[in-house]
A and B are shown apart, each in its own frame.
Chain A
């Protein structure tokens, strides 16, 4: 726990006390206050992290008392307001607002609450595990020949039938890629065991004659299994925010603003890691959360006749104070450093950047960052309700980088720069019509850098060559969101009658990405809405919008390798089709094996995939009946249809959301709301299964 911000609490108290003499001297000062004490009980039957995520105490149920306090003291020119709500030490809210003659305003708030985080038990990751390897007799001989302290006995089930064989072994070092057991385990005494079940599969839980109680771990090639090392731990985070702001009116037309915000996130989170090129072995551990975001804001507002100018500077530091979680990754077996690609092995090249030989290495690391921004805005009010607004925004985010196991980077810091220039004009050419014209240019630029990886293994000689290390050196990285964005828009609001308005709008947006693979997105939007009131009690609104998006952000070549000769997806069994086709050389991959097993053929996939639409139609209808000031009934309907038709794939989504609500306020102190909302959403997309991958 870092307490270096607690001086701010003391400062708050001092500032709280400061206006009291003013209030005491003010003969008209009035003060009011209220204190509320209550209790709450929550009983949760479902997963508490889903339905009781912000519970104050226990994850599965919650009960306790709470207290609320409100104090108001106001004189003619000075007021103090204090609100507080307390549930327990991990959930409380306090707000203080002091206004001294509108020339000095101080606001302070402290807010704290718990968030229960997901705990993935990883117990469903048991698919596709081979039941064991070599025949027991083969293993028996092999293990006996090379292992000191070897002992073996048949394993039987409850009926006395032999279901496999159990070996007690001094360690697991005898296990190499060419010796397969179904399970490895450790007994209550610490003795290590291997179990080779009778094919195809046998459940270790039903072994009738184990030497002792054994905790088994299933192993196998091309398997997927998870291990939750902290199955009984609750994961949570406490989020705490302390915020202060001062506004000081230094002259009647110039106000200075100062703001400070400190956000802390502390707790325990699940930290998942996965070994590759062995089984997909997923482990769940816990890691401490200790993050801090500190904002400092300085600004000024000046009013000079018809001109209003606003400036704000932000300095943000995000710090991650936890030590990085570490993992010893599994020994890689398919391939591993000893089993490069050979035709005999029928496996593939070693493309591993690290495995267990690298020792304990960090994973699930949250990088720190610094941000600075400047926002300058100006507004010019003219006669005839004409308003011209201009803005300039500059922001820079920096994050330090370093080499890590398996990679070197050529820069110690990456910077993202944002510049935005905006101009808006509101005019009223005639009294009934308001027109808004707007334009904005934005530029995002992240520093280019390169990284280098260890080249693919040298065991590829059997296939006729070793990959050129140069292909793994200085790999350039371009940020996906770099580019220039232009937005132009026009909106009109026309008053058809005293109580009826028609709104029409058009917007054009073009995002020209620097990274050409992701393309250039053009968006055109049309909006129409009609708002009216019938008599004094009924109002209604109808709105329609249409968007046409050319080349939305998508995953290019995201799926479907199609053999260029046969036209069949994923089919090139004999690797016979390499050659130049339509002027483009095609290598004719042996899918599912061979040296290119993995990702090299990703570039050859043909389908672009995205959940972003190329067209959107949306309709909104709503009507409110309010026969008195204390009652209102509203019906509303929203319908939305989105679709895209990209290369070799299409996607569409329909959403319908009707709702009805009633609001009734029998007294000033009591109001009741009843709302029913139905959301129906259906998405349809092509599902692509890469048979060749994994």
Chain B
């Protein structure tokens, strides 16, 4: 045992000593070293003296701090309000009053103890930078949850009124239902409740989108707020805009309604593997004959054989059931009906992607190897299932 310790780095060997010294003197050291607001000449008189006049003040946790917690620092009312000797003599004056302190002064007093956990980032938080004081939100003498003046989210909504309105939009997180609070995502003493990328905060609850996926959607990996407004949205699913308009800002549209009035070869039709009631239909059997070549294959219509595709009519007239309103319907179609795995998937599209054109993947087209080297990503990924 001794030999093991003797081989440890000096800092490690000193660790128990540091813990012991810290345990004994942290409060005293911080009071002595930190720049705190003071009343010049005031000295401590003890909490009992304060309570002679201020009876009933301090029902919360701050009134019951022990020496064990203050680690050698001042306890009682004077731990925050400074020495009370002059205050007693000055008949109500000459004491640190938080309502009169500047925000950074009151924060310095609080930071004597509150320097760890979520409070570690206070000095460079957005709230500190816009001159918000600890006492703007906390009522130090009161009890209750972390001595807040109001509960979250009502307290936050006092200033963040646009977010209050957004929390009532048709699509919203369950904040107004009392199932979430602002503090679930935001650290009011810092930034977001994550020390990683912003998307990792969302993934705390929406872990199904964590991945990593084989086929990913770049904006999902970058930042969820590219598509979603977490505070509330008019569109479904907290989307910034309705589909397809949101998607069309980054992708071009494709839709069969554009074929209104056109015609297509008659030799290809769809056949569902399902009956209209959702049960499996009789499954067509793969062809037993040779694949047609050159458009001159003939045969019967028995299953698995081929007919002459040159038989008239060569084309099928498309009669769009929606007529001139087809475009309206296109804009009423959600992209995610087909692109359902928009957050990422491990399963491939039904069709193989085109691959990087350097060189061309198409053996039928000569490519001298001078392709432009583009490719997304290493070939279009297409749909995933």
Binary interface profile of A, 79-102, with partner B (CB < 8 Å = 1, else 0)?
100000100000001000101011
Contact-residue size bin, chain A (C-beta under 8 Å from the other chain): 35 or more
Contact code string B194-227 (vs A, CB < 8 Å = 1, else 0) = 0111001000010110111110101101100010
State how many angstroms separate the Cβ of A581 from the closest Cβ of chain B: 10
Partner of B310, one of A199, A331, A344: A344
Contact A560 B252 (CB under 8 A): yes
Q: Does A64 contact B (CB under 8 A)?
A: no
Q: Is the CB of B364 within 8 A of A353?
A: no
Given contacts A101-B66, A304-B26, contact A122 B337 (CB under 8 A): yes
Cβ contacts A251-262/B at 8 Å (1 or 0 each): 111110000000
In whole Å, how far is B317's beta carbon from the nearest beta carbon of chain A?
Answer: 5
Selected contact of A118 from candidates B236, B277, B351, CB within 8 Å: B236
Task: For residue B152, give the distance in angstroms from its CB to the closest CB of chain A.
Answer: 13
CB distance from B156 to the nearest CB of A (A): 13
Nearest CB of chain A from residue B374's CB, rounded to whole Å = 4
Complex CA–CA separation, A687 to B258 (angstroms): 14
> Which of B269, B351, B353 contacts A133 (CB under 8 A)?
B269
Kindly list chain A residues whose C-beta atoms are within 8 Å of the C-beta of B303: 146, 173-174, 176
Interface residues of B in 312-362 (CB under 8 A from A): 312-313, 316-322, 326, 329-330, 332-334, 336-338, 340-341, 345-357, 360-362
**Would you give the shortest CB distance from B358 to chain A, in whole angstroms?**
9
B379 CB within 8 Å of chain A: yes
Contacts of B278 in A (CB 8 A): 227, 229-230, 283, 285
Q: Is A125 an interface residue (CB 8 A)?
A: yes
Of A1-9, A10-18, A155-163, A446-454, the segment with at least 4 beta carbons within 8 Å of chain B is A446-454
Minimum C-beta distance from A322 to chain B (A): 11
B241 close to chain A: CB less than 8 A: yes
B300 touches A603 (CB 8 A): no
The 8 closest A-B pairs by CB, nearest first: A344-B295, A279-B270, A229-B278, A465-B363, A677-B165, A334-B268, A128-B256, A559-B252
- Cβ proximity bits A567-585 to B, threshold 8 Å, 1 near / 0 not: 0000000000010100111
Residues of B within 8 A of A207 (CB): none
A281 touching B270, Cβ below 8 Å: yes
For the complex, give the distance between the alpha carbons of A675 and B78 in Å. 41
Chain A 323-338: CB-based contact to B (< 8 A → 1; otherwise 0): 0000111111111011
**Residue in B196, B218, B370 whose beta carbon sits within 8 Å of that of A518 in the complex:** B218
From known contacts A338-B306, A598-B354, infer whether A401 and B214 are also in contact, taking CB-CB under 8 Å.
yes
Query: Least Cβ distance of A204 to chain B in Å?
Result: 11
B226 lies within 8 A of A611 (CB): yes
Known interface pairs A387-B123, A478-B378; 17 further A-B residue pairs with C-beta atoms within 8 A, sorted by A's residue number = A128-B259, A128-B326, A179-B301, A179-B307, A185-B276, A223-B256, A253-B26, A304-B22, A306-B33, A345-B268, A475-B378, A553-B222, A558-B252, A595-B362, A609-B250, A609-B251, A610-B249
Query: Can you list 26 A-B pairs with a CB-CB distance of less than 8 A?
Result: A111-B179, A125-B333, A130-B269, A130-B318, A147-B301, A177-B268, A221-B270, A230-B278, A279-B270, A279-B272, A330-B271, A334-B269, A357-B286, A381-B115, A407-B214, A414-B211, A466-B363, A503-B130, A517-B376, A585-B367, A587-B360, A609-B250, A677-B164, A688-B248, A688-B253, A694-B255
A383 within 8 A of B: yes
Indicate whether A175 sits within 8 Å of B256 (C-beta atoms), given known contacts A291-B207, A310-B120, A598-B354. no
Contacts of A670 in B (CB 8 A): none
Partner of B361, one of A383, A467, A515: A467
CA distance A275 to B349 in the complex (A): 10
A255, A343, A382, A584: the one contacting B295 at CB < 8 Å is A343
Interface string of B106-133 (1 = CB under 8 A from A): 0010010001110011011000111100
Q: Are A273 and B385 in contact (CB-based, < 8 A)?
A: yes
Cβ of B363: which chain A residues have Cβ within 8 Å of it? 460, 464-468
B221 contacts A102, C-beta separation under 8 Å: no
A418: chain B residues at CB < 8 Å are 196-197, 200
A246-295 residues with Cβ-Cβ distance < 8 A to B are 249, 251-255, 263, 272-283, 285, 291, 293
A54 to B378, CA, bound (A): 42
With A180-B269, A328-B273: A252-B347 Cβ-Cβ less than 8 Å = no
B291: Cβ under 8 A from any A Cβ: yes
Question: Are B316 and A135 within 8 A (Cβ)?
Answer: no
Query: Is A254 within 8 A of B23, CB to CB?
Result: yes
Q: Which of A50, A134, A223, A347 contacts B313 (CB 8 A)?
A: A134
Q: Is A151 an interface residue (CB 8 A)?
A: no
Residue B183 lies at the interface, judged by CB distance under 8 Å to chain A: no
Which among B218, B348, B365 has the greatest number of chain A C-beta atoms within 10 A?
A: B365
Contact across chains for B178 and A85 when beta carbons are under 8 A apart? yes
A308 at the interface (CB under 8 A from B): yes
CB neighbours (8 Å) of A508 from chain B are: none
B18 contacts chain A at the CB level, 8 A cutoff: yes
Minimal Cβ-Cβ distance residue in B for A449: B214
CB of A175 within 8 A of CB of B129, answer no
Question: Which of B40-48, B82-90, B169-177 interfaces with chain A?
Answer: B169-177
Q: How far is the CB of A405 from chain B (nearest CB, A)?
A: 8
Partner of B252, one of A134, A352, A609: A609
Smallest beta-carbon distance B310→chain A, Å: 6
Instruction: Check if A600 is an interface residue, CB within 8 A of chain B.
Output: yes
Q: Is A178 close to B, CB under 8 A?
A: yes
| Nearest CB of chain B from residue A110's CB, rounded to whole Å | 12
Q: B6 contacts the other chain (Cβ, under 8 Å)?
A: no
Residues of A within 8 A of B208 (CB): 291, 318, 320, 366
CB neighbours (8 Å) of B65 from chain A are 102
Q: Is the CB of B313 within 8 A of A272?
A: no
Q: Which chain B positions have C-beta within 8 A of A216?
A: 276
Cα distance, A558 to B248, chains bound together (Å): 10
Q: Count chain B residues whose beta carbon lies closer than 8 angstroms to a beta carbon of A.
A: 182
A477 at the interface (CB under 8 A from B): yes
**In whole angstroms, what is the CA distance A240 to B305 when docked?**
56
**Cα A177 to Cα B246 with chains together (Å):** 36
Task: Tell me whether B218 and A180 are in contact (CB under 8 A).
Answer: no
A209, CB-defined interface residue at 8 Å: no
Known A-B contacts A221-B270, A330-B272; A414 and B301 likewise in contact (beta carbons under 8 Å): no
Q: Compute how far the CA of A276 lies from the CA of B350 in the bound complex, rounded to whole angstroms.
A: 6
Cβ B211 vs Cβ A416 within 8 A? yes
Which of chain A's residues 174-218 have a Cβ closer than 8 Å to chain B? 174-181, 184-186, 192, 199-201, 215-217
Q: What A residues does B80 contact at CB under 8 A?
A: none
**Closest CB in chain B relative to A469 CB, distance in Å:** 10
- Is the CB–CB distance between A451 and B362 below 8 Å? no
In the complex, which residues of chain B have a beta carbon less than 8 angstroms from the beta carbon of A275? Answer: 270, 272-273, 350
- A580–B316 CA distance with the chains assembled, in angstroms: 38
Contact of A333 among B207, B271, B302, B346 (CB under 8 A): B271
Q: Are B120 and A612 in touch, CB under 8 angstroms?
A: no
User: Closest residue to A333 on the B side, CB-wise?
Assistant: B268
Contact with B along A592-605 (1 / 0, CB 8 A): 00011011111111
Residues of B close to A517: CB separation below 8 A: 374-377
Partner of B350, one of A353, A409, A659: A353
Contact B179 A272, beta carbon cutoff 8 Å: no
For the complex, is A219 an interface residue (Cβ under 8 Å from B)? Answer: yes
- Distance, CA A595 to CA B210, complexed state (A): 37
Cα A288 to Cα B347 with chains together (Å): 19
Q: Report the separation of the CA atoms of residues A305 and B31 in the bound assembly, to the nearest whole angstrom.
A: 10
Pick from B29, B172, B272: contact of A219, CB under 8 Å: B272
Mask, A142-155, CB within 8 Å of B = 1, is: 11011100000000
The answer for the CA separation of A149 and B170 in the assembled complex, in Å, is 56
Question: Is A638 part of the binding interface, using a Cβ–Cβ cutoff of 8 Å?
Answer: yes
Q: Is A375 an interface residue (CB 8 A)?
A: yes
Contact flag A177-B349 (CB < 8 Å), given A127-B256, A685-B248, A690-B252: no
Name the distance in Å between B69's Cβ and chain A's nearest Cβ.
Answer: 6
Chain B residues with Cβ below 8 Å from A304 are 18-19, 21-22, 26
List, in ascending order, chain A residues with CB within 8 A of B200's CB. 395, 418
- Known A-B contacts A145-B300, A285-B278, A663-B158; A399 and B210 likewise in contact (beta carbons under 8 Å): yes
